[in-house]
Structure 1
């Protein structure tokens, strides 16, 4: 294995940093802006209400199941090159989605979007981790990723709803294309992160079993959140477990494994992967749960619900801008403890938001949870991208983001089920307890740097 590094100019450093931010925004905006446009898509393309879930799942399935492959390819082909391929492919798929005249075409191009997102997302974090030798620069870039991600979460729903109601749902897809193209241009401007690793062999058996296992598990979790077909769900999960078991056995014997199992001896990296799972389960699973709960239990509209939950993103933005610059030099452990403690306090505060008249408690709790999430997730992102070293940054990012996406799928399946039970108060309390377990798991991770 060999590697080369090219020193950056200040202008190139800035452009590379903006490529990372824009790549992160593209992924965030696609999900947050599209959610409010889903009913319009169903009406315009004359499909059933079940089609809403297909628009989301057609993207989520390839994204979650191919992240590990994307991270591995990044270490083989170069982070910049794969970032550019992912960004341009994502932009082309977005344009194709916008031009789709049938529901089938839209679903097909959503699958393509998910594939290219699985190439782009690990490279965003890989470049943030290995593209900046100065620890202060690296910390600043990772923190600003959290800030821009929060901005995308805040602006996305409002922008998506506005575009869907005025220009039409196709504008949501047009929105992300120029951002992705700009990111591809900026990442090729030269500068930090030009590190290319070459692996002697390609682990075909590992790639196939790992991808197939993740695909089956994520599909089973998605079905668990929307279907009552126990036989199908069980079959998918059993197949997924069998394939992932085979994957582990293959990786143990492979001379050039796609995912060397030895990486999990690194306690900080393993802690960040566990924390990433708990992060997505808790933080994003909670947003999904609350969006359903307040509409069902409080009887509010979708737009009102979105406005009530926007304080989560505002808390994320403010904590990233005002608190994280102070905490980052003091180490990841402090950020993990402080962030998880704040998120836990906000989650407990939710228990007082029992009626629509106490909406202000919900807004306050969401703000505190968002701030706590911004603090601990920045530490997790930084640790995941740096703990295995530059040559394995793509692999590290692929494993970490896979853990996050699977955590989100599990969270949506479990918390979504709790949001639809008849005893809404019991479901609410059970969801809060699960979220508290997630914050405890994050606090217990071995993250230090």
Structure 2
């Protein structure tokens, strides 16, 4: 009987030395189930963006209801990630994952009964709960399935590639469904996929629990949920309405409550969230990579889709196809990133990936004006290749935690992605909006028409259509202002990514090997 010797700080594995595999015999087939589940969850987020106009036309929601249709999913998901991950450590990660699949499928099916905006909000809240059960469970199970850290890094690279695919394919699938069916199809698409995922999960995935599950106490759950919901809501409100009493109050409450939650966890020997994981420099670098990349990517996809549709006149389906270069870059780079890290070092891949993505953003500002689609495609491709470093970031995060704390590591990583996406839209998206408002010339328009034209490109184009032939100048000027705001956003995103690259380079030890961070 052979014995696998795991590397440690006292017995490091030299870079390039093969490590004996001791993972689950059906681990690669199990990975296919986990990657496919992530693909569907990410696709579901982006499909809604395409379906929202048809949904709004059918149900006629108010402005507040429309915001809640969009926002309730990330609020519920972000708020429940930590307590649900802790519960999965105790109850069983496969059981939690399959329960999440079931809830996700049932919630999607319930859309057939939805005949009001309130019904859709409730469905989206249930989907958020299902997503909170699915997302961290996939990472925890990958940690359990793949005991060889290098195999795990490859598996996480494939998992990360599926996230890139889901983000790009979602609008394409959504556009195709909406051309043939009603907006309900954007939800019903999940049902057959979840049925297959449940059957495959029962067959292929082993059960996994923590040997030392964290404490789940009512006060800790209340603090975690309240703090995350308040923080995410505050950031979203800040992006929509600027510095208001509501946004500042929510941010302050979120910060204070989360600080109390962290201090509570530090006082406990078996906390619900193992915040001591942040003591590891490589772990902090992995989380920073995930947070920064998610921030920049979310804003780029949002602004890029608007530019393609409103400035270039692409249909939703055409815009989805036009955004594919980012996914292609991620698909190519993510599975290869761990092998590259094995040859040139994890630090180089982590910091280098952020730098490559930063160059992609900077292209938006450095290319000759006016920006053309080939220029945007080149920027998207570079950003996609750069985000391949997320595969190594995931490997560092998950390997930086002992097996019994995999749930905490997964919850932290997923929270980084969710919070990053919210920050990207709220902060970088708001920056682009401010630059647009400063650059657009509404001529002599006053009152509601002038305000609408200044608020957004979509509003300016609507006002221009109402003006008829005399509105052509407004449409052209507003389109030019939005293109300029996209270029300046590229500069901001590029600086953010390059600064993160420098910080990550300083945090990660030069000789860090993915096997060396294994506990």
What is the TM-score of this pair, normalised by structure 1?
A: 0.90
| CA RMSD, Structure 1 to Structure 2 (Å) | 2.5
1:419 aligns with 2:394: no
| Distance apart, 1:329 and its partner CA | 3.3
2:467 equivalent to 1:408:
no
Asked if 1:376 is matched to 2:435, the reply is no
Aligned to 2:274, which of 242, 252, 260?
260
Q: Given the alignment of the two structures, is residue 67 of structure 1 paired with residue 86 of structure 2, yes or no?
A: no
Q: 2:408 aligns with which of 395, 399, 404?
A: 395
> Is the 2:79–2:226 contact (alpha carbons within 8 Å) kept by the matching residues of 1?
yes
CA distance in 2, matches of 1:62, 1:376: 28
CA drift at 1:119: 1.4
Residue 23 of structure 1 is matched in structure 2 by 37
Aligned to 2:117, which of 100, 103, 106? 103
Alignment equivalent of 2:133, drawn from 103, 119, 122? 119
Give the gaps of 5 or more residues in structure 1. 1-6
The correspondence of residues 165-204 of structure 1 with structure 2, limited to 5 A, is 165-189=179-203, 194-199=208-213, 201-204=215-218
Sort the Cα spacing of 1:336 and 1:325 in 2 relative to 1 into closer, same or farther, 3 A.
Answer: closer
Match of 1:238 among 245, 252, 270: 252
Q: What is the CA–CA distance in structure 1 between the aligned matches of 2:386 and 2:376, rounded to whole Å?
A: 15
Instruction: Note closer, same or farther for the CA distance 1:417–1:319 as it changes in structure 2 (3 Å cut).
Output: same
Instruction: Determine the structure 1 residue equivalent to 2:324.
Output: 310
Distance (Å, rounded) in 2 between the aligned partners of 1:119 and 1:73: 10
Q: How does 1:343-358 map to 2 (within 5 A)?
A: 343-353=357-367, 355=369, 358=372
Matches within 5 A, 1:110-149: 110-149=124-163
Distance 2:346 2:317 in 1: 37
Q: Is the 8 A contact 1:132 1:193 kept in 2?
A: no
Q: Give 1:327 deviation, angstroms.
A: 1.3
- For 1:56, which of 61, 70, 89 is the aligned residue? 70
Note if 1:441 corresponds to 2:500.
yes
Pick from 254, 259, 265 the counterpart of residue 251 of structure 1: 265
Contact 2:23 2:148 in 1 (8 A): no
Contact map agreement 2:46 2:171 (CA 8 A) in 1: yes
The CA distance in 2 between the partners of 1:388 and 1:222, in whole Å, is 31
CA distance in 2 between partners of 1:181 and 1:51 (Å): 31
Provide, for residues 405-443 of structure 1, a one-character-per-residue CA deviation record: whole Å limited to 9, x for no partner. Answer: 112111110122123222243674255224432343145
1:35 offset after TM fit, Å? 1.3
The one of 395, 398, 403 aligned to 1:385: 398
CA contact (8 A) 1:94 1:176 kept: yes
Aligned length: 440
**Range with bigger deviation, 114-123 or 417-426:** 417-426
User: Quick check: 2:352–2:501 contact (8 Å CA) kept in 1?
Assistant: no
The answer (yes or no) to whether the contact 2:354–2:389 under 8 Å persists in 1 is yes
Corresponding residue for residue 4 of structure 1: none
Structure 1 CA distance for aligned equivalents of residues 127 and 405 of structure 2: 25
Counterpart-to-counterpart distance in 2, 1:240 and 1:36: 31
Could you say which residue in structure 2 is the equivalent of 1:290? 304
Aligned residues of 1:292 and 1:419 also touching (Cα < 8 A)? no
Does 1:81 find its partner at 2:95? yes
Aligned to 1:259, what secondary structure does the other structure show?
A: coil
1:270 — aligned with what?
A: 284
Highest CA radius of gyration, 1 or 2?
2
Instruction: Tell whether the 8 Å contact from 1:415 to 1:431 is kept in structure 2 after alignment.
Output: no
Q: Is the 8 A contact 2:365 2:490 kept in 1?
A: no
Scaled by the length of structure 2, the TM-score of the pair is: 0.78
Give the whole-Å Cα distance in 1 for the aligned partners of 2:136 and 2:215.
21
Change (3 A) 1:345 1:228: closer
- 8 A Cα contact 1:274 1:442, kept in partner: no
Structure 2 CA distance for aligned equivalents of residues 293 and 253 of structure 1: 49
Residues 42, 49 of structure 1: 8 Å contact kept: no
8 A contact 2:41–2:131 mirrored in 1: yes
Give the equivalent residue in structure 1 for 2:356.
342
Farther off after superposition, 288-297 or 238-247: 288-297
Q: How has the CA–CA distance of structure 1 residues 298 and 353 changed in structure 2, closer, same or farther, with 3 Å as cutoff?
A: farther
* 3-state SS, counterpart of residue 420 of structure 1: helix
Q: What is the rounded CA distance, in whole Å, between the counterparts of 1:27 and 1:403 in structure 2?
A: 16
Match of 1:3 in 2: none
SS at match of 2:189: helix
Contact 2:23–2:147 (Cα < 8 Å) also in 1: no
